[in-house]
Structure 1
Amino acid sequence: MKEEMGRELESGKVAHVVFLPFPAEGHIKPMLKLAELLSQAKAKAGSIQIQITIINTQHTHQRLLVTSNLKEFQQTHPNIQFLTFPDGLPPEHPRVGRGFKEFISALKTVAPALREVFLSMTLPATCFIADMIMSTSAVEVANEFQVPLLSLQTMNACTTWIDLHLPKFLEEGEIPIEITDEACLNKPVTQITGLESFTFLYRDLPGFCRTQEVAMEFCIGEFKAASQASALIINTFEELEAPMISKISSFYSKIFTIGPLHCLNLSTQTDDDSSHRSSADGILSKEDNSCLEWLDSQQSGSVIYVSFGTWASLPSHVFFEFWHGLINSGKPFLWVVRPNSIHVTDGVRTPSEVLAELEEKSKGKGLIVSWVPQEKVLAHPAVGGFLTHTGWNSTLESIYAGIPMICWPIKADQFVNSKCVGDIWKIGFDMKDKCDRSVIEKMVRDLLGDKREEIMESVNKFRDQARQSVMVDGSSYRNLENLIDHIISLVP
């Protein structure tokens, strides 16, 4: 690959874009999609060729080799190469759950390893696009090699606006929030302009602001470092978050909103949902398409789809509380339960035994699977609602599909997203900090029945705006073209 890139350099000018994702699937997926889009931008770039290098941790790369066909991916995208660096942890380290604190501590010290990767590259970097929460090391390396740094925010604009204020919150002792203090959780946030009319509460701040989270100081340090980037790329669209995007411009002179990234293409856009499927889809998890046959047997709009994302590890009693709520709602459900997502609390059963019990008790009422092609599931006519952890990728995919949500956030930006869905955009219900079968039952019934008509007006409006934004001449399509022009302008 290095030799090929060297030959490209000899034959003409090259824009070499280097990517640094945060090593978690929810962050890697949008960054891979952006890399794909830039790799397809040859026609837009004229005589300048665009080469892509994606730098992953060795642990992440090994997962890619197991769960995806990287050889085929690179054959399809010959101008994309993958390089790796060690994250300082042994291969068997879990990196999530109880191992997360050690994981983020290790990520604070990866700058020397990144430096070695930059030294190994035959083609000098034109620009460095780093995940916003990998900024400390990215800034250090970008400054040493005198490479323009662009920050990619894989979360929404509202979260970004809040994140930019959190260093001051920390200095003034406003965070961390004591999660056992209901009065504190229900206190309005008055220090951040633009949130007043929506009664943002302290419980709506990012989850790492809570006392049980270990990531607070790490994330806030990354946000401070990200302010040194020369531009900000956000996976959102103008029509959804224009007021917040405008406010962020006081921190960044260049902002490119290019979402929903999962359905953005440089080729001619169509109304066929399959046209935006990326070859990176499902690249970190094997998708089980058999659930689509089960959905085919269900009535239109009758199914509640349930998924808590790729990282959550929840106590077994939480799963059973949700199970009771789903069963009592009387609605068929498709529920994603990853084998490693169950944390057994009774000390008797294993996670596999808990999962087997859930599957057995769900027969005839719902289907439990380990993973699904989520975009296809949300687009299926049988799906009427999404009970979600409100990760930003899932939220955008639901908006694009026109599916209302029940939001049960678990960590990070999910708490902000849940507030936005329920109270700002009014395209779902905010169920944060509740795990009660009676509440779950009522919200499922309301979403698929009694309150569906009133909520679908907003759902359909934002669905149409999302789809228009990624069409030729849509706001996100234009901003992607502007981003490409900006990168080309950095070539000496």
Structure 2
Amino acid sequence: MEHLKPIAHILIFPLPIQGAVNSMLKLAELILLASDAQIHITFLTTEHVHSRLMLHANAASRFESYPGFSLRTFSDGLPEDHPRGSDKFGEMVDAVESVSCPLLREMLVTDRANPPQEKPITCIIPDGSYNFALDVGKEVGIPVIYFDTISPSCLWVYLCLPKLIEDGEVPFQENWEMEAIVGVPGIGSLLRRRDFPDFCRANNPASDVMIQRISEQAKQFRKASGFILNTFEDLEAPLLSYMRSHFPNMYVVGPLHLHLKERMLRKETTTSTTLLSYCSNSLWHEDKSCIEWLDGQPLRSVIFCSFGSHVCLTKEQLMEFWQGLVNSGTRFLWIRRQRSVTGMDDDVHKWQEQIPSGLLKGMKENGYVTSWAPQEDVLSHPSIGGFLTHSGWNSTLESIVEGKPMLCWPYYVDQLVISRYVSHVWKVGLDMKDICDRDIIENMVRDLMDRRRGEYSQNVNALAYLARQSVHEDGSSYCSLNKLVDDIMSLKLPA
């Protein structure tokens, strides 16, 4: 690819967790492809994330074909053995913000005062949770376009949180979990109290850190130059229409992983450039041997079980899941990431010693357990018939694109809202939130994989078709990405 003089230079700044890094790397590659090298991108992340990307992903070799892409790192100040997981998520975010806020300001001021060889940064695309990024951008006269990698439905709930607090719907007590929340415009009475994150149960919203952070986010979004969503129009049309009435400058460019594959395919057919077909942005080693195991299983006979990169189960919860799966008689592929189960050793021989012999025998007959897997490849495999998931947004979109119904066991944040949408709006699966009982798990697995498979498969396949249409040339997401690129290249900065 010819190295043209850039028209614009974007700083992309993700939250340093698997889902956000994956989404923002895909967005970066999409922008590079769509701009035909007229936009340069600096991708800013922590040294911890960078080292894991270099070790486990093909990101480094893949981005070598883009002269306008560079990685820049900083230390998050945490020890290398810090888990940076869900139970320590707040610590990680606080550490990153304390370091990155002054770093970002210094980068942008120095960049503009002493122009480098390449074009100075002209636009910032930070994660939606980085409230400080907008203030820093305004200080130096650089526009900010937020990219919130959570689901639009949950984002909208968050943006409405100040009004929910004002109206007295939040916070609420533990009782009356089934009572509807009616103060989220455009959603009606779909969501119940049990579909809201735990911090909405805070006794004093004025002192709750998460509520304060989200309330500030709602203010910042209204002052930003725009924001990007990883979804497609036909999946959430009524909600997106309502959101546009409040935030007109929205770029709906998803599903990102499918959109990237479409742009890559078009590039390969119109130029001599060869791009890698699989875009791994994994922070863990992917065990591809599970694909060989899937190759030997019957069509749509396996349920894929993965709770993502942050969920931590107790040993008791793990036993309930495994016993329910074994009792269902359904083949299953289980992802057991390191440090994902409290009270159990990560060593395969040691944790197997802690499993009852009857359960271990059933697992060996019908199950396959591995530490991590190439999820997009797994979900696209013809042997997979369903997905037992934590309802992370990337996982949900990947499952929809591949036409795989879902059994949802959400853990926190947007997952609680997403699982409700899966079961009651899109009707492509079941919501098992707040439940971890072997008998219920067994029954729901049978529903998903057998008794109601036809119903769910028909619904999810219809959405998969619409997703593919959205990223084709002239599709809604395809056009929205082109508009994003055009807007970034034509931005007029204040003097």
Alignment partners' CA distance in 1, 2:275 and 2:395: 16
Does residue 253 (structure 1) correspond to residue 248 (structure 2)? The answer is yes
Q: Cα deviation per residue 1:301-360 (whole Å; 9 max; x = unaligned)?
A: 11111000011111111111100110110001001010210111xxxx534333664594
Check whether the contact 2:58–2:281 (CA below 8 A) recurs between aligned residues. Answer: no
Q: Does residue 227 of structure 1 match 2:219?
A: no
Partner of 2:481: 480
Q: TM-score, normalised by structure 1?
A: 0.89
Query: Residue 41 of structure 1 corresponds to which residue in structure 2?
Result: 34
1:3 corresponds to: none
Query: How far did 1:445 drift?
Result: 0.4
Q: Aligned pair 1:125/2:121, yes or no?
A: yes
One-letter code aligned to 1:317 = E
- Kept in 2: contact 1:15–1:491 (CA 8 A): no
- Tell me the SS of whatever aligns to 2:29: helix
SS of corresponding position for 1:41 = helix
Aligned length: 468
Q: Does 1:152 align with 2:147?
A: yes
**3-state DSSP class of the match of 2:334?**
strand
Q: Which moved more, 1:406-415 or 1:159-168?
A: 159-168
Give the partner amino acid of 1:24.
I
Mapping of residues 429-468 of structure 1, within 5 Å: 429-468=430-469
Matched to 1:190, the amino acid is V
Amino acid at match of 1:441: E
Alignment RMSD (CA, Å):
2.6
Q: SS at the partner of 1:182?
A: coil
Partner of 1:415: 416
Q: Is the 8 A contact 1:104 1:215 kept in 2?
A: no
SS in 2 for 1:38: helix
Which amino acid in 1 is paired with 2:244? S
Match in the other structure for 1:20 = 13
Instruction: Tell me by how many angstroms 1:241 deviates.
Output: 0.5
- Distance (Å, rounded) in 2 between the aligned partners of 1:73 and 1:455: 36
On the 8 A contact 2:109/2:140 being kept in 1, the answer is no
1:84-140 deviations in whole A, cap 9, x for unaligned?
233343333322244223223324433112222334542321111111112x12112
CA 1:267–1:203: 2 relative to 1, 3 Å: same
What SS class does the counterpart of residue 439 from structure 1 fall into?
A: helix
User: 2: distance between equivalents of 1:72 and 1:277?
Assistant: 9
- Deviations along 1:32-80, one digit per CA (max 9) or x if unpaired, are 001011112344x7xxx21000111232223223323554234222211
Matched, 1:115 2:105: yes
Query: Which residue identity does 1:20 align to in structure 2?
Result: F
Assess if the C-alpha contact under 8 Å between 1:262 and 1:278 holds in 2. no
Distance 1:491 1:263, change over 3 A: farther
CA distance in 2, matches of 1:214, 1:341: 25
- CA distance in 1 between counterparts of 2:14 and 2:129 reads 9
Give the match for residue 4 of structure 1: none
1:133 and 1:223 in contact (8 A); partners too: no
Give the unaligned 5+ runs of structure 2.
none
Q: 1:65 aligns with which of 44, 50, 54?
A: 54
Alignment of 1:111-190 (within 5 A): 111-121=101-111, 122=116, 123-134=119-130, 136-172=131-167, 174-178=169-173, 181-183=174-176, 185-190=177-182
Residue identity opposite 1:118 in structure 2: L
**Residue 191 (structure 1) aligns with:** 183
Structure 1: distance between partners of 2:88 and 2:453: 41
Q: 1:156 to 1:314 in 2, by over 3 A?
A: same
What is the TM-score when the length of structure 2 is the normalising length? 0.88
Query: Against the structure 1 CA distance between its residues 80 and 408, is the aligned structure 2 distance closer, same or farther, given a 3 Å change threshold?
Result: same
1:336 matched to 2:329: no
Q: Which residue of 1 aligns with 2:289?
A: 290
Change (3 A) 1:376 1:154: same
Mark the CA change 1:296 to 1:278 in structure 2 (over 3 Å): closer, same or farther.
Answer: closer
Say if 2:160 and 2:218, in contact at 8 Å, map to a contact too: no
Corresponding letter in the other structure for 1:83: R
Q: Secondary structure of 1:311's partner?
A: coil
More displaced stretch, 364-373 vs 153-162: 153-162
Assess if the C-alpha contact under 8 Å between 2:6 and 2:40 holds in 1: no
Structure 2 counterpart SS, 1:429: strand
Determine if contact 1:166/1:220 at 8 Å carries over to the other structure. Answer: yes
- Tell me the equivalent position of 2:195: 204
Kept in 1: contact 2:159–2:217 (CA 8 A): no
Structure 1 residues without counterparts, runs of 5 or longer: 1-6
1:99 matched to 2:88? The reply is yes
**For residue 82 of structure 1, what is the aligned residue in structure 2?**
71
Q: Is the 8 A contact 1:307 1:335 kept in 2?
A: yes
Inter-partner Cα distance in structure 2 for 1:482 and 1:355: 53
Q: CA deviation at 1:297?
A: 1.1
Specify the SS of the correspondent of 1:483: helix
The separation in 2 between residues aligned to 1:279 and 1:381, in whole angstroms, is: 17
Q: Is the 8 A contact 2:58 2:279 kept in 1?
A: no
* Paired residue secondary structure (2:382): coil
Distance in 1 of aligned mates of 2:149 and 2:325: 31
* 1:239 corresponds to: 234
Change (3 A) 1:450 1:52: same
Structure 1 residue 473 displacement after superposition: 1.5
State how far apart, in whole Å, the 2-side matches of 1:381 and 1:70 are: 27
Instruction: Among all aligned residue pairs of Structure 1 and Structure 2, give the percentage whose two residues are the same amino acid.
Output: 41
Does structure 2 retain, via aligned residues, the 8 Å contact 1:127–1:487? yes
